[in-house]
Amino acid sequence: MGILEVKNVNKRFGGLQALGDVNLDIQENTVHAIIGPNGAGKSTLLNCLIGKLEPDTGSVTFDGQPVLGRKPHEINQMGISRVFQTPEIFNDLTVMENVLIPCFAKRDGAFRMHAVGSVASESDVMETAEKMLSDVNMLAKKDVHSGALSRGDKRRLEMAMCLVQEPKLLLLDEPTAGMARADTNNTIELLKEIKASRDITMVIIEHDMHVVFSLAQRITVLAQGTPLVEDTPEKIKGHPKVKEAYLGEAAA
Amino acid sequence: MLGLRKSDATLLLFVVAITILAPFILNPFPTNSAMAQFNGGYPDLMQRFVIFGIFAIGFNILFGLTGYLSFGHAAFLGVGSYAAIWMMKLLTMNVIPAIIISVIVAGLFSLVVGYISLRRSGIYFSILTLAFAQMSYSLAYSVLTPITGGETGLQPKNTDPRILDTLFGGGGAGGRANFFGLDMRDSYFWSVGDWSFVFNTGYYVAAILMIAAFYLSIRIFRSPFGLMLRAVKSNQQRMNYTGLNSRPYTLAAFVISGMYAGLAGGLLVAMDTQVGAERMFWTASGEVVLMAILGGAGTLIGPVLGAGFIKYFENIVSKINESILQGWFAALPDGLSDFMVAVIYPFIGKGWHLTLGLLFMLVVIFLPGGLVEGGQRIAALFRRKPKDNDGGMSAQATPAE
């Protein structure tokens, strides 16, 4: 039994069957990529996993616990973090403050009223945040307004914000979308480092096959809302059904 | 000092000094001079400065930090006032129980209003709070007349029970609001040459509470809770996907700001023992929004400056009348003097709103960070060298959207 189990998930938007009977079994400590042509339902699936969307039927279980019906913050507190397609960070705050917020969320839970002591006096949280920033090579920028960062730095900051919570599962929605080749390669290296340095399961949604084949251990191909095949990268590469799904899109 | 970092401590000391020395600072002109009408150092106005300062500081904890724009905060001010006057009628004319109960009642009321209004954000939140405030106003004005006195409002009467005062022998100050016997209206006058300064008991009671309120707001701004409130304003989606429940944070901010409003309402009653429903009218809610934005929303000192600025205009510019204007321009040739009077007249007296409106527009357009940003720019001019390590009021200024 995997860490994340998706069973018979269906989702309709009006007349459109966005997800049809999706079954997934994601093993602990693997990097699992979900690929597929545009409109295959990849993002819909991811949104169902983090509580942004509620599927019409089916179940999602994480670590033996049901996920559906929970609020986004509850799902995060179970150990699922998400990196968005465009980096979602606190643009009005400094880099350090951006990392402090998930540190507090990790230590104190979804809500705690600590309104009198200063942030600076919380030395354990300050230390954790600084260590995380130095891990992603951003310590020098800790007082920079994060809205002023480059796209690549924003992505790294967002990863740092997710990782500082020590999630069991990291969901990445097209982590290299819109990046130049050099930035893409940096992101691949960063993700490899992250994977190598801790016990973490990753689910990546990606268009860029270079990224997928550099990272993934398992690949699921999604087409028209249904998983077509699930296999290792080597087998996926030559799979006729996969070629058909992609070529069919190109031909249409 | 007091658990504050250096720049905040300096700012606090600055505010303490200004409030203590206000009777001097606000009366810079000799009593008989032509400029005397610009003196703001009389008890009624000074009390308003600090009381509305408290109101604006509290409002800023909600609006400045979380970005949730409440258009109904006057309701909490009004509820605090009603609670305070009932305390005076039933228990004692001592202001302490009245102030305490006003904070508690306003806090409970804001818990209810906030719980419902915060189910929505943005403009819908603002409209919900506005609706609540207007309902409260209408209720106080008509249906709830037995509790609120309706149109006439409430004042202490000789027939009031005042249980504690009767128990301990009349309360000392003969039916006047007092602080353990010190009449809130008592003033000490000090004349130095042509100058006259007034030191009023009520003002100093309110000023001490404002300093305490200001100190507490600094602590909130610098706390993890304050950081979370800024996170709400910056990106609520990321906050929720970071495992934080934004709802209780915003609700706590709403209740805290409601309690500040209640404290201000209670103090208004402590200074001038009467309440009317118009205190809850929507224009009063709008005024505190103006104060926060004019001074600089999200900054520590901004709302206090904004409150002072607006209250000064309301009380000073509105008192300049035509004959005073004619006095100013009497030295000019007849035609020119009439012309000047005709030009300036619409902006003074009852036209003070026009002046305030124009100033507000100028500030919002040219100084989006409010008066605080203006102060920083002036400071930067004087400093010549563009260095970033400025102390005091600029350290906490975040660029306003």
Tell whether the model's pLDDT for residue B387 goes beyond 70: no
User: Which of A70-74, B82-86, B379-383 is least confident?
Assistant: B379-383
> Hey, is the C-beta of B325 within 8 angstroms of any chain A C-beta?
no
pLDDT of residue B346: 86
Cβ atoms of A227 and A219 closer than 8 Å: no
What does the pLDDT read at residue B265? Answer: 97
Residue A214 C-alpha, separation from nearest chain B C-alpha, in angstroms:
27
Closest CA to A207 of A237, A176, A162: A176
Nearest-CA distance from A171 to chain B in Å? 11
Q: Are strands A80-83 and A169-173 parallel, antiparallel or unpaired?
A: parallel
Answer whether A50's CB lies under 8 Å from A80's CB.
yes
Q: What pLDDT is stored for residue B80 in this prediction?
A: 97
d(CA A201, CA B75): 51
* CA B14 – CA B392 distance, rounded (Å): 9
- From the list B276, B306, B266, B301, the residue with the least C-alpha distance to B288 is B306
Residue B371: predicted pLDDT: 93
Q: Determine whether the interchain pair B231/A90 forms a contact, defined as Cβ–Cβ distance below 8 Å.
A: yes
Q: How many CB atoms lie within 10 A of CB B246?
A: 22
Secondary structure (DSSP) of A104-163: HHHHH-S-----SS-GGG-HHHHHHHHHHHHHTT-GGGTTSBGGGS-HHHHHHHHHHHHH
Task: Give the residue ranges of DSSP H helices in B152-277.
Answer: 163-167, 201-222, 224-234, 236-240, 246-271
Backbone angles phi, psi at B203, to 5 degrees: -60, -45
Residue B342 located in a structural domain? no
Q: Which residues pair with B196 in a beta bridge?
A: B191
pLDDT (0 to 100) of residue B170 = 57
Please state, in angstroms and rounded to a whole number, the distance separating the CA atoms of residues B46 and B29: 16
Give the whole-angstrom CA distance, residue B84 versus residue A189: 65
**B297 assigned to some structural domain:** no
Is B290 within 8 Å of B310 (Cβ atoms)? Answer: yes
Say if A126 is an interface residue toward chain B (CB within 8 Å).
Answer: no
- Asked if B241's CB is within 8 angstroms of A73's CB, the reply is yes
Instruction: Assign B83 a pLDDT band (cuts: 50, 70, 90).
Output: very high
CB contact under 8 A, B219 and A102: no
Interface A–B counts its CB contacts (< 8 A) at 113
Q: Spelled out in words, what is the top-level CATH class assigned to the domain A1-79+167-252? A: alpha beta
| Region A186-194 average pLDDT | 89
pLDDT band at A247 (very low <50, low <70, confident <90, very high): low
Read off the pLDDT of residues B231-258 as tens digits, 9 standing for 90 and up.
999 999 999 999 999 999 999 999 999 9
- B48 neighbors B279 (Cβ within 8 angstroms): no
Which of A73, A84, A114 is best to mutate for the B interface (most B CBs within 10 A)?
A73
Between A82, A88, A125, which is nearest B235 by CB? Answer: A88
Task: For residues A217 and A204, give the distance between their C-alpha atoms in angstroms, rounded to a whole number.
Answer: 11
From chain B, pick out residues whose CB is under 8 angstroms from the CB of A93: 227, 230-231, 234
Q: Does A110 touch chain B (CB under 8 A)?
A: yes
Confirm whether B132 is domain-assigned.
yes
Q: Cβ–Cβ of B243/A110 closer than 8 Å?
A: yes
Q: Do A115 and B220 touch (CB under 8 A)?
A: yes
pLDDT digits (tens, 9 = 90+) for B251-308: 999 999 999 999 999 999 999 999 999 999 999 999 999 999 999 999 999 999 999 9
The residue-averaged pLDDT of A54-81 equals: 92
- Which residue of chain A has the CA closest to B4? A118
Domain-located, residue B365:
no
Q: What distance, in Å, lies between the first and last C-alpha atoms of chain A? A: 38
Chain B contact present for A71, CB below 8 A: yes
Contacts of B245 in chain A (CB under 8 A): 71, 73, 110-111
B337: which DSSP letter? H
Say yes or no to pLDDT of A54 above 70: yes
Residue A104 pLDDT exceeds 70: yes
Is residue A160 predicted with pLDDT exceeding 70? yes
User: A123 in contact with B at a CB cutoff of 8 Å?
Assistant: no
Structure tokens at B153: 């409002």
Q: Give yes or no for a contact between A47 and A203, defined as CB atoms under 8 angstroms apart.
A: no
Task: List the single residue in B227, B233, B243 with the smallest CB-CB distance to A165.
Answer: B243
d(CA B200, CA B218) in angstroms, rounded, equals 27
pLDDT the model gives residue B166: 82
Residue A124: pLDDT band with limits 50, 70, 90: very high
Of A95-99, B68-72, B240-244, B317-321, minimum mean pLDDT range: B317-321
> How many separate domains does chain B show?
1
pLDDT digits (tens, 9 = 90+) for B134-150: 999 999 999 999 999 98
Three-state DSSP state, A16? strand
Confidence label for A248 from pLDDT (cuts 50, 70 and 90): low
B222–A120 C-beta distance less than 8 A:
yes
Nearest to A117 among B223, B228, B248 (CB): B223
Closest residue by Cα to residue B70 from B25, B12, B131, B15: B131
Are B223 and A104 inside 8 Å of each other by CB? no
- Which range of A2-11, A224-233, B227-236, B348-357 scores highest in mean pLDDT? It is B227-236
Predicted confidence band at B394 (pLDDT cuts at 50, 70, 90)? very low
Contact B128, B116 (CB under 8 A): yes
Across the interface, whether the CB atoms of A115 and B219 are under 8 A apart is answered yes
Those residues whose C-beta lies under 8 Å from the C-beta of residue A1, and which sit 6 or more positions away, are A25
Phi-psi region of A37 (alpha: psi -120 to 50; beta: other; left: phi over 0): beta
Q: Has residue B379 got a pLDDT over 60?
A: yes
Q: What is the dihedral of CA B361, B366, B372, B377, to 10 degrees?
A: -150
Say whether pLDDT at B396 is over 70. Answer: no
Q: Which CATH number is B198's domain given?
A: 1.10.3470
Q: Does B383 touch chain A (CB under 8 A)?
A: no
Which of B95-99, B246-250, B272-276, B392-396 is the least confident region?
B392-396
Is residue B397 scored above 50 in pLDDT? no
Mind listing the pLDDT tens digit for each residue in A16-50? 888 988 999 999 999 999 988 888 888 889 888 88
Other Cβ atoms closer than 10 A to B310: 23
Enclosing domain of residue B194: 6-26+39-281
Q: How far apart are CA A120 and CA B147, in angstroms?
A: 48
**Is B242 touching A (CB cutoff 8 A)?**
yes
Q: Would residue B339 count as lying in a domain?
A: no
Q: Which of A5-14, A151-160, A200-209, B263-272 has the highest mean pLDDT?
A: B263-272
What pLDDT score does A245 carry? 72
Q: Which candidate, B25, B81, B124, places its Cα nearest to that of B284?
A: B81
Q: Measured in whole angstroms, how far is the alpha carbon of residue B327 from the centre of its chain?
A: 33
In the prediction, which pLDDT does A78 show? 94
Asked if A118 lies within 8 A of B239 by C-beta distance, the reply is no
Q: Are A115 and B219 in contact (CB under 8 A)?
A: yes
pLDDT (average), residues A219-246? 83
- The pLDDT value given to residue A14: 87
Say which residues have a Cβ less than 8 Å from residue B44's Cβ, sequence separation at least 6.
Answer: B271, B272, B315
- The amino acid present at B249, given as its one-letter code, is Y
- The position carrying tokens 């000392």 is B172
> What pLDDT does residue B174 have?
59
Residue B119 belongs to some domain of the structure = yes
Question: Least CB-CB distance to B231: which of A76, A82, A101?
Answer: A101
Q: Is residue B118 part of a domain?
A: yes
Query: Chain A partners of B5 at a C-beta cutoff of 8 Å?
Result: 118, 120
**Dihedral sign, CA of B364, B365, B369, B372?**
negative
Domain membership flag for residue B384 = no
Does the pLDDT of residue B60 top 70, yes or no?
A: yes
Give the minimum alpha-carbon distance from A174 to chain B in angstroms, rounded to a whole number: 17
Using CB atoms, which residue from B219, B227, B252 is nearest to A100? B227
Give residues 142 to 171 of A whose Cβ lies within 8 Å of B.
161, 165
Cβ neighbourhood burial of B334 (10 Å; 0-12, 13-18, 19+): exposed
> A151: which 2 tokens?
């796209």
In chain B, what residues touch A115 (CB-CB under 8 Å)? 219-220, 223-226, 252, 256
Enumerate the residues of chain B whose CB falls inside 8 A of the CB of residue A88: 235, 237-238, 241
Query: Tell me: the pLDDT tens digits for B308-317?
Result: 999 998 888 8
Rounded Cα–Cα distance for residues A151 and A173 (Å): 15
- CATH 3.40.50.300 maps onto chain A at 1-79+167-252
What does the pLDDT read at residue B390? 44
Pick from A71, A106, A118: CB nearest B223: A118
Whether residue B14 is predicted with pLDDT greater than 50 in this model: the reply is yes
d(CA A103, CA A125) in angstroms, rounded, equals: 6
CA distance B54 to B77: 11
